[in-house]
Structure 1
Amino acid sequence: MPLQTAPYSISGRQYINGAWIFGRSTRKLDDRNPFTGEQLLAMSMASINDLNDAYAAAQRAQSDWAATTPAQKTELLNNLARVIERRTEEITSWLIKESGSTRIKASFECNASLNLVRECASMPFQVEGRILTSHKTGEQSFVFREPLGVVGVISPWNFPLYLSMRSVIPAVALGNTVVLKPASDTAVTGGLLIAHLFEEAGFPAGVLNVVVGAGSEIGDAFVEHKVPGFISFTGSTDVGRNVGRIATGGQYIKRVALELGGNSPMVVLDDADIEIAAHAAVVGRFLHQGQICMSVNRVIVDRKVYPDFAALVAERAEKLKVGDPNLADTVIGPVINQTQLDGLLRKVDNAHNAGLKLLAGGQPSGLVLPPHVFGEVPADQELALEETFGPLLPLVVANDEQHALALANAGDYGLSSAVFTKDMARGFAFSRKIVAGMTHINDITVDDQPNAPFGGEKNSGLGRFNGHYALEEFTRAHWVTWQAGGHNYPF
């Protein structure tokens, strides 16, 4: 029998310099289960002084951590993977009760996080330099990859564990230390739980620090602070614009990676297998209630196959199980909070007022909104034009392939995309004309693999995560030359 692991005691304290301390803000966090309304955590939030302490701790720890051997870093990352594996059910349970994840989605997120740590465990050995040809006689020229120093990470509530880890793990693997600010709605799964995992894995004090604070109190200071050399932000485009403005336009200019919103199109061409495409549309839109930046936000369907495709999508959507996210077969659980639900209901009302055809729908129960499918949605209607973070799916009709491509590229976003066709050459030709960071042929728009570049174009952000792309993001190039003797200087 395996040894039983006692669950973590989540105390509602900040994690700074390897110690659990009370936040010094007068603001309180009331963290609740979005399905049951049960209080999960009450805590004092972080103040500016707490933030300063966290950055100071990360700065003090960074040089020693950078000097830690690759073998030691790898050992600690492998320890972390073993801790996650051992605590999979505990982590999954927290994702369900704090973020409203269904068990399907929570299991997927936990497994993706584990795979990420395993992939990054070898990253300390992947750092390579270069020897350059020098223009100067007798000189040797080198390029080293160095850690950036301290990295500030701001993560969102929709995939809180994974989207925090996706920045934290490569940053730490490459010799940086981190201050992590999770979303208030997911303070545990986006931050405090990760701190417990790091602590159990044996990471030195100060390598990871977690501050749970209100954006209105510490958000700008988190970005403009003197200590971090790099800010990794995942969240909405509006907030991301402000993060980028502060990071690059303030007193201390720093690197920034922005993983922002999306309006991901899924295109169904006239030769697609519509059974497969309809199944993908429903999974790609309604996974985690549509609260995913790369979710299928609109389906663009060739007019020749639209009637049959729309009927199949509506039929599948109506059959999805709605309700308790902890049940194994539930597909649609609660949205994250009342504000989110209110915004979705406004969009539903607007769609009805605009005379859009409702192919599937239902009334909300608590924060659970049944899947909605609207047919023949005009391309300039808000459901098709804007990112909708919820279980609402618009179907847009295209006249032909050229029109479908124009619709796919319309708008200000360029994160993920998909195209369905039986012709491989046609699929590749079409996909390469889409202005997006990622395009999947005959698959959903939702995918994130630890060795593949993740990121967007246009207003969907800057930078790339994962694999050697992350290696370049979280290190800097340092040119160093060596000269054996003196030069013939001109004076």
Structure 2
Amino acid sequence: MSTMPTHTPQQQYRFGELLIGGKWRHGSAGTVTQDVDPYTEKLLLDIPNAGESDIVEAFTVATRAQRDWANALPGERAKVLREAARIMDQRHAEIVDWLIRESGSTRMKAELEFSAVHSIVLEASTLPTRVFGRLMPCDIPGKENRVYREPVGVVSVISPWNWPLHLSSRVTAPALALGNVVVLKPARETIVTGGLLLGKLFEEAGLPPGVLSVVSGDNQVIGDPFVLNSASRVISFTGSTAVGRRIASLAATGPVLKKAQLELGGNNPLVVLDDADIELAVDLAVVARFLHQGQICVSANRIIVDGRIFDRFVDAFVERVKSLKYGNPDASDTVIGPLVSRRQLSSVMGIVKQAIEQGAIQHVGGAPEGLVVPPHVFTGIGADVQLGKDEIFGPIAPVIRAADEADALRIANDTEFGLTGAVVTRNVDRGAHFASQVQAGMTHVNDVTAVDLANMPFGGEKNSGLGRFGAEGVIDELTTEHWISVQHTRRQFPF
């Protein structure tokens, strides 16, 4: 184990290289990723991309480093995680600034993400002493059955650009705490906040070289080699269902059968029942739909309202949405900042255009200013309007009329996805009963759809993914059971 620094950092982190096999260096692909501020569209930095040989090196070094790291005392691993959390506190402003500049996070969203990641790291620091083996009885005389729980070894992590620090940390931190090593491939749009920043934090916290690598490059060059590398036994992916299906296929058919931990798309309902507090429902719908410009897999993708209060809800919701400030993400009162890229802008404006063409009624909208899209609200979402069917990664809110509670439940479940949901009602027992019938991995009563706690099982059903994140679920995902039997007396066999 290396000695952890105790000094207060005097200089901000500098970036421009990848962390490959314990060394900060340029990738070997001969191409460069340009990291751009989505609000100003100015270049932040250039990072030379990894090639296939860099992927091989990262996994090779990881394999060598894993045994020593797994054999480190639980308290040593926990200490590294606690030190990382302490360094985060020292570098709070620096981390938030990177989230704003690189991912287009508003300041309020960046602070939420920082807080969530800090909780993840602290929760992970408790995991080294929460892994239990057990003794199991059996009917064979003289046999002792021991079941050990061990780290899986090398974990591959592919994370997206929308909550980059959070979605990388929620696998990386617990994986490290449990004695695994990690090769992390963040999205190229957020290469710093999704990966390189974690590399610096854990390095400063005393993580031994090679235990965490951060690689990035052209998916056409390194995508399949990353997924297929036989050193890894688990691949964790957060992103679209289409890409997740392909990764799961590669994990199942490659040279080594891998466990796939997947958090995929969502078409999440926020249901407002007829007895709901309208003011509360509007507050929840605004946050659940427009936090981080709607670029969240757990956003309220559909707002489903009982017809008896539909008009009152829409009137109040529209007025509230009209008051939302959009623009510079660094301003403390900005609610809606820029989309992450020109490609994302094109997709979102295409959704708006299609909704209007298909007969949806626009109540709020406006032309984009750079990559900033003003909030949009639509009603008139019939069965033939695509807006109510697809995941929307932008500040567009479809409000759907339901005939009654049963119809609201039917609409909520009428999707291939099942990530999260929410229901608003004055009667919590009614809400809990409704929530129990929603086909999703998570459903919240009188709260937003976007709830993620470090100690709770986070994950979806149907085409929204496989496995669970969060401290308890992640122990199962990132460890494996080893049954060792000891025969203390000579067995009697039939022949």
SS in 1 for 2:397: strand
Q: Which of 173, 179, 184 matches 2:183?
A: 179
Q: Which of 6, 13, 17 matches 2:11?
A: 6
CA displacement 1:193-220 (0-9 Å, x = unmatched): 1100011001001111110112121111
**CA–CA distance in structure 2, aligned partners of residues 100 and 373 of structure 1:** 22
Tell me how far 1:411 sits from its aligned partner.
1.1
Structure 2: gaps (5+ residues): 1-6
SS in 1 for 2:227: helix
Tell me how far 1:4 sits from its aligned partner.
6.3
- Name the residue aligned to 1:435: 439
- Name the residue aligned to 2:334: 330
- Name the residue aligned to 2:322: 318
- Name the residue aligned to 2:110: 106
Residues 225/3 of structure 1: CA separation in 2 closer, same or farther (3 Å cut): closer
Tell me how far 1:245 sits from its aligned partner.
0.4
SS in 2 for 1:24: coil
Tell me how far 1:355 sits from its aligned partner.
2.4
Letter in 1 for 2:453: Q
**CA–CA distance in structure 2, aligned partners of residues 341 and 444 of structure 1:** 25
Q: Structure 1 stretch 120-129 or stretch 16-25: which is displaced more?
A: 16-25
**CA–CA distance in structure 2, aligned partners of residues 453 and 34 of structure 1:** 32
1:389-404 matches, cutoff 5 A:
389-404=393-408
Residues 374/288 of structure 1: CA separation in 2 closer, same or farther (3 Å cut): same
Letter in 2 for 1:41: L
State the 4+ residue runs in structure 1 displaced beyond 4 angstroms. Answer: none
1:84-123 matches, cutoff 5 A:
84-123=88-127
CA displacement 1:29-63 (0-9 Å, x = unmatched): 01100000111111210000000000011100000
Letter in 2 for 1:426: R
**CA–CA distance in structure 2, aligned partners of residues 30 and 16 of structure 1:** 19
**CA–CA distance in structure 1, aligned partners of residues 137 and 252 of structure 2:** 33
How many residue pairs align between the two structures? Answer: 489
Q: Which of 417, 420, 429 matches 1:416?
A: 420
Q: If the length of structure 1 is used for normalisation, what is the TM-score?
A: 0.98
Letter in 1 for 2:10: T
Q: Note if 1:363 corresponds to 2:367.
A: yes
Structure 1: gaps (5+ residues): none
**CA–CA distance in structure 1, aligned partners of residues 386 and 253 of structure 2:** 32
SS in 2 for 1:256: strand
Q: Which of 202, 213, 225 matches 2:217?
A: 213
The answer as to whether partners of 1:379 and 1:396 remain within 8 angstroms in 2 is: no
SS in 2 for 1:439: strand
CA displacement 1:87-119 (0-9 Å, x = unmatched): 111000000000000000001001100011111
Q: Note if 1:274 corresponds to 2:278.
A: yes
Tell me how far 1:357 sits from its aligned partner.
1.1
The answer as to whether partners of 2:141 and 2:489 remain within 8 angstroms in 1 is: no
- Name the residue aligned to 1:80: 84
- Name the residue aligned to 2:21: 17
Q: Which of 230, 234, 237 matches 1:233?
A: 237
Q: Which of 276, 288, 292 matches 1:288?
A: 292
CA displacement 1:230-269 (0-9 Å, x = unmatched): 0000011110010000001222111110000100000001
Q: Note if 1:345 corresponds to 2:349.
A: yes
Give the RMSD, CA atoms, in angstroms: 1.1
- Name the residue aligned to 2:201: 197
Tell me how far 1:16 sits from its aligned partner.
1.8
SS in 1 for 2:442: coil
The answer as to whether partners of 1:379 and 1:407 remain within 8 angstroms in 2 is: no
CA displacement 1:453-486 (0-9 Å, x = unmatched): 1000001000001121111111001111111232
